[in-house]
Structure 1
Amino acid sequence: MTDQTPKPNGQRIPNGMLEDNYPRNMWWVAAHRDEVTTKPLARWLLEVPVVLYRLADGTPAALYDRCPHRWAPLSEGHVERDRLICPYHGMEFDTGGQCVKAPTQTMMPKTAQIPSFTVREAGAFIWIWMGDQEAIDCDPPEVGYQIDPNWSVVNGYYEVAANWVLIRENVLDLTHIAFLHKNTFKQDDWITAPDTYMEGETVCYEQEFDLAPLSPLFCAGMGLPEDKPIKRVQKGRMPSLAISFSDWNVYDPAPEAGRRSDFIMRGCHIVTPSTRGHTHYFWAAAFDVPEISEDVAVKTKASVTAAFDEDKNLLEKLQASVAADPRGLDFLEVTLGADGAGIKVRQILNKKLAAEGRSLR
C-alpha cells in the first residue's frame, strides 16, 4: 500500500503530479465522438501515442500509433477495407494490431504486431481502456444526457499543461470561484466547505445557498435575469477519476406567469492524461432546457471559456513552478476544510495504483 505517513513537510497523501500517476485499469475518454472518423486521429493518451479511427460500419478502433517496420506514425495513413494502412510502405493492420498485408513481399511478417486498445462509444464520447484487457469489469460512465434532445449542451476542449489531478481537484473544490473567478462567475457566496461523502465508489458533495443572484454564466441558458435572487443547491458527483459532474439545481421562487421555476445546469469535467505534465480536458455545460438559441449558446460558451481560461492559466503556472522548484512535492502542503473531495480523489487514486502494483513516492 502507498505510504500515507505525514512527512515533516510535503503531501500527507501524494497525488503524483510530477510522475506517471495514471491508473491503467479504468476507462478514460480518448476523444469526443465527433472527432473520430474514418480519417485516422493521432492522440497521446497516458504517455502513449494512439491512433483512433472508425470502420466502415462506424465502429471505433484504436491502435498504438507506430508502425513496427520503420516506426512511421500510422495516423498519417488511411483506412481502407477496415484496415489501417501505413503511409510509408503500405503495410496493412487489422483492428487487433496484426499486420495482414505487406505489399512489398509475399511472406507475411508474423512478428509485425502492435498493441490494440479496447474502445467503446458511450454517449458523446469514445472511451478507451489502456490497461489489462482481462480486468475490464464495468461500462464507461453514463453521459447520455449530452445527446438527449431535452437538454441543450455547450461544450469545449483544452489541452492543459498541468497534471490531470490538479484539474480534478480544482473542479471538486469550488470555493475558489469567489476568488479566482470573481470577475467571471461573480458568485461570491461560495466560500464555505460543502458536505462531502461517498456513495459506493462515487465521491459526492452537496451545499445549499440562500437567495442570491445566479452566476451570469448560466442565467441566459435558463432564461433568468442576472439580478434576480434565486435559491440553489449545488450537487457534485465523481463516479470515476476520469469524470465528474457539478449540478446547479436552481429554484426561482417568483417565476413570471407561465414560466417554470426549477432548472438544472449540469457541468461536466472530463480529464485524460496526455504526455507527461499535460492533460486533455473536455468540459460541457448542459441545461435541462431543449433548444436554447444559438445566440445564448454562443454567449454561454464565451463566458464559460473566459472563466476556464483563468483556471488553465493558474494551473499551468502552478505545475511549472512546482516542476522547477528543487523542493518539488516535498514542500509544505496545508489541507483546508474545503479539500474533502480532493482528499478522496487522492485516496481513490492511491488505492487504484496499489491494485495495479504501483505506488507514488
Structure 2
Amino acid sequence: MDGNEPITRNGQRIPNGMLQENYPRNMWWVAAHSREVTSKPLARWILETPVVLYRLEDGKPAALYDRCPHRWAPLSEGHVDGDKIVCPYHGMEFNSEGLCTKAPTQHMKPKRAEIPSFAVREAGAFIWIWMGEQDSIDCDPPEVDYQVDPNWSFLDGYYEVAANWVLIRENVMDLTHIAFLHKNTFKQNDWVTPPDHYMEGDTVCYEQDFDLAPLSPLFCAGMGLPEDKPIKRTQKGRMPSLAISFSDWVVHDPTPEPDARAEFVMRGCHIVIPSVRGKTHYFWGAAFDVPSITDDVAEKTKASIVVAFDEDKHLLEIMQKQISKDPRGLDFLEVTLGADGAGIFVRQILNKKLKAEGRPL
C-alpha cells in the first residue's frame, strides 16, 4: 500500500465492497470441474448470471445464457442433440454461438432468437469461462497443468459458501488465521507472524520461512512423513488472478530415512467464483508432488481437509450474515493488521479492474 489511496469515513483505505456487485467480468473465472461438464446440460449461476454448460460432439465445452428467448425456460432442463442444445418447452434448438437453428412448431426460424454465448477454455482440472466482453479476451486462463500432471497427486473438493467471494479470497491470502481458527485441525500453530508480501507483475505473492517444527497432520500422510517429526518448511503463496490462488508447503526433511525423499511440495489451490448475490462457489485442491498416493491416504487427507475447511465456511457465513443484517454495514470501523498485506493487494487489483470496467466501488 503506497499511502495514496483515499481514506473512507471509517478509516478504511480500500473498501472491500462485500455487500455490492464487486466482481470483474473481463477475466477468466472457473465455471466447473472438467468432470462435471458432459453431454448432459449443467446449470450454474456465475456472476449473478444463469449459465448452461455442456459438451459438443468433439468433446469441447460450450456455455450459453441459461434462458430460452421464447418463454424463458431454462435450457439446462433440456437436452443436447449433437452440437445443439434443445429447449425442453417447445423444442427450439440453439448452436454453441447462441443462435436458434430450428423452431419445430413453425417453418421459419424466429428473427432475433439469439442468446449470449460465453468463451470457455479447458485448463488443468477445470472449465474456465469469460463472462465479460467476448472481444476483450487478451489472455489465457492461469497455468494449472500440474493438476493433470501424472507426477502429481491432485485431490479436490467443492463448497457453496453463503458469503461474498471477497471474504473467501482474503481468508486464503492471510493464513495467520490457521494458528487460531484451525488450531485443532491444521495444528500449524507457529504461523502467527506475517509473511513477506510483494507483487510480481500482476501476481500477488507472499513467502515465509519457518523453523523446525512438526508438519500439519493434514499433509504428513501424503508425503510419507510422521506427524511428530520436526521438518523445515517454506510457505510460498501466489495469486495470479482474483479467481485462483496457490499456497505451497515447501518441505525439507533434515534427517530422511535411508533412500527416502527429503524434499516435498504440497500445493493448496483456492478457486472462488461469485454465484448469486451473497453466495460463492469455492473449489479447493491439494496436490502433492508424489506420482500416486494410495486411496487410503487420499481419503484420509481429503477427510481431514474437509473438517478444517468446514471451520472456515462456518465462520465466513456467520460474518456475512451479521454484516448484512447490521445497519452500519461497511460503515463500521475496519482495522488492517500487518498480515493483511496480500489482502490489501487483492483489494487494489479488484478496484483497478472494476474501475477499468466503469464500475468502481
TM-score (norm 1): 0.98
After TM superposition, list the pairs within 5 Å mapping 1:173-212 onto structure 2.
173-212=174-213
The percentage of aligned residue pairs carrying the same residue is: 78
> Which residue in 2 is equivalent to 1:313?
314
> Which residue in 1 is equivalent to 2:37?
36
CA distance in 2, matches of 1:75, 1:10: 46
**SS of corresponding position for 2:278:** coil
1:324-351 deviations in Å (ceiling 9; x for gaps): 0000000000000000000000000000
> Which residue in 2 is equivalent to 1:45?
46
> Which residue in 1 is equivalent to 2:103?
102
Q: Which one scores higher on RCO, CA 8 angstroms, separation ≥ 6?
A: 1
TM-score (norm 2): 0.98
**SS of corresponding position for 1:236:** strand
Contact 1:249 1:265 in 2 (8 A): yes
Contact 1:29 1:270 in 2 (8 A): yes
Amino acid at match of 1:49: P
After TM superposition, list the pairs within 5 Å mapping 1:127-206 onto structure 2.
127-206=128-207
**SS of corresponding position for 2:205:** strand
> Which residue in 2 is equivalent to 1:228?
229
Contact 1:10 1:329 in 2 (8 A): no
Contact 1:235 1:247 in 2 (8 A): yes
**SS of corresponding position for 2:39:** coil
Amino acid at match of 1:85: V
Shift of 1:121: 0.6
CA distance in 2, matches of 1:65, 1:333: 39
> Which residue in 1 is equivalent to 2:28?
27
Shift of 1:111: 1.1
CA distance in 1, matches of 2:158, 2:5: 34
Amino acid at match of 2:263: D
Contact 1:11 1:329 in 2 (8 A): no
1:35-60 deviations in Å (ceiling 9; x for gaps): 00000000000000000000011010
Structure 1: runs of 5+ lacking an equivalent? none
CA distance in 2, matches of 1:10, 1:270: 30
> Which residue in 1 is equivalent to 2:114?
113
Contact 1:10 1:330 in 2 (8 A): no
CA distance in 2, matches of 1:10, 1:292: 49
> Which residue in 2 is equivalent to 1:64?
65
CA distance in 2, matches of 1:282, 1:299: 19
After TM superposition, list the pairs within 5 Å mapping 1:237-256 onto structure 2.
237-256=238-257
CA distance in 1, matches of 2:328, 2:11: 9
Amino acid at match of 2:166: V
Shift of 1:4: 4.3
> Which residue in 1 is equivalent to 2:126?
125
**SS of corresponding position for 1:263:** strand
> Which residue in 2 is equivalent to 1:356?
357
CA distance in 2, matches of 1:12, 1:183: 34
Amino acid at match of 1:335: T
1:141-171 deviations in Å (ceiling 9; x for gaps): 0111011111011110000001111111000
1:182-206 deviations in Å (ceiling 9; x for gaps): 0000011000000000000000000
Shift of 1:276: 0.5
CA distance in 2, matches of 1:168, 1:60: 27
1:83-109 deviations in Å (ceiling 9; x for gaps): 000000000001111111000000110
**SS of corresponding position for 1:350:** helix
> Which residue in 2 is equivalent to 1:78?
79
Output the aligned Cα RMSD.
Answer: 0.9
Contact 1:4 1:14 in 2 (8 A): no
> Which residue in 1 is equivalent to 2:345?
344
> Which residue in 1 is equivalent to 2:333?
332
> Which residue in 1 is equivalent to 2:287?
286
Shift of 1:134: 1.3
CA distance in 2, matches of 1:8, 1:46: 29
1:209-257 deviations in Å (ceiling 9; x for gaps): 0000000000000000000000000000000000000000000000001
Large movers: runs of 4+ above 6 Å: none
Amino acid at match of 2:308: A
> Which residue in 1 is equivalent to 2:277?
276
Contact 1:10 1:331 in 2 (8 A): no
Shift of 1:81: 2.1
CA distance in 2, matches of 1:11, 1:48: 30
The size of the alignment, in residue pairs, is 358
**SS of corresponding position for 1:334:** coil
Structure 2: runs of 5+ lacking an equivalent? none
1:69-89 deviations in Å (ceiling 9; x for gaps): 111000000010210000000
**SS of corresponding position for 2:353:** helix
1:274-317 deviations in Å (ceiling 9; x for gaps): 00010000000000001100000000000000000000000000
**SS of corresponding position for 1:20:** coil
> Which residue in 2 is equivalent to 1:266?
267
Shift of 1:10: 5.5
**SS of corresponding position for 2:283:** strand
CA distance in 2, matches of 1:237, 1:334: 24
